[in-house]
Structures are given as structure tokens and as C-alpha cells.
Amino acid sequence: MISRQQLTLDDARQIASAAETEARLQGWNVTIAIADHGGHLLWLQRMDGAPLMSAEIAPGKARTCVLARRASKSMEDMINGGRVAALAMPVLPIEGGEMIVVNGDVVGGVGVSGVKAVEDAQIARAGIAALSAAGASCTL
């Protein structure tokens, strides 16, 4: 049997709150999605004024980084580098999905959508950093 850390709803709330704070500080309206270690949605929050499509994209980004065990940008880079066969994978290869890694284990992912992809990733990392600041052994 394997014992592992798991995200709680309180963890998801903490991540989402910090991500929302970063988005508001920047004046960005986004959707924030948080997935557990299996890529299943724990949290979905669409800020007022966020693009409607972002509510579909953010969960896909969160799920992608959990399933691929890497940031969603790495999948985008792979395709942009010519590995177009990766388009057949069950992932959303767009920057803005970041893994939540605790003690070396991927315990979930944060996906953000609504602004430029690099800005989406910035917001996701801000949320994860808050969990780390609260005492979790997260790595970014």
C-alpha cells in the first residue's frame, strides 16, 4: 500500500483565494480550477467578467498537468516543437496548468484561463505558493 498526501477542500479554498487575489491585483478576470491527484475537479471558480469559454479550459489545464505530471506548458512546447502526435493525447496542451507537488508527489493541479497563457500560469503559481506558505512542502 502507498500512503500519500491528498488535497482537502480547505486546501483548494486556500489555493483559490490566493490565485484570485493575484488575479485581482493584476486586474485580470479568470476562471480558476483545482483538480485532485487523479485529475478530478475539486474547485471551479469563474470571476465576474471572465470569458465564458474559460470555464471549460481551466479544468482541462488542471487535469492535464496532473495526468502528464508536468506543467501544461510542456505539452504545448512539445507540440510547437513538432511532436504533433501529442495532439491525440487526452490533455489540453495550453500553458496555465501547474502541478501541486508535495514531498515529491503530484497531489493535484491548478488550471487558470482567461488572460494570456503566461499570465494564467502566474496566477496558478500564486495559488500554489500560498499552500506552501501555509506549511505544506510544495515545490513549484
pLDDT tens digit string along 10-49? 999 999 999 999 999 999 999 999 999 999 999 999 999 9
Assign a CATH topology to domain 9-134: Beta-Lactamase (3.30.450)
Could you report the per-residue pLDDT of 51-88, keeping only the tens digit for each? Answer: 999 999 999 999 999 999 999 898 888 888 888 888 88
SS (H, E, C) the chain: CCCCCCCCHHHHHHHHHHHHHHHHHHCCCCEEEEEECCCCEEEEEECCCCCCCHHHHHHHHHHHHHHHCCCHHHHHHHHHCCCHHHHHCCCCCCCCEEEEEECCEEEEEEEEECCCHHHHHHHHHHHHHHHHHCCCCEEC
Q: Which of 37, 25, 7, 23 is nearest to 96 (CA)?
A: 23
Query: Which grid coordinates belong to 87?
Result: 495532439
Considering only residues 103 and 140, tell me which one the structure prediction assigns the higher pLDDT. Answer: 103
- CA gap 130, 135 in Å, rounded: 9
List the domain boundaries for the chain: 9-134
**The model's pTM:** 0.91
What pLDDT was estimated at residue 140?
53
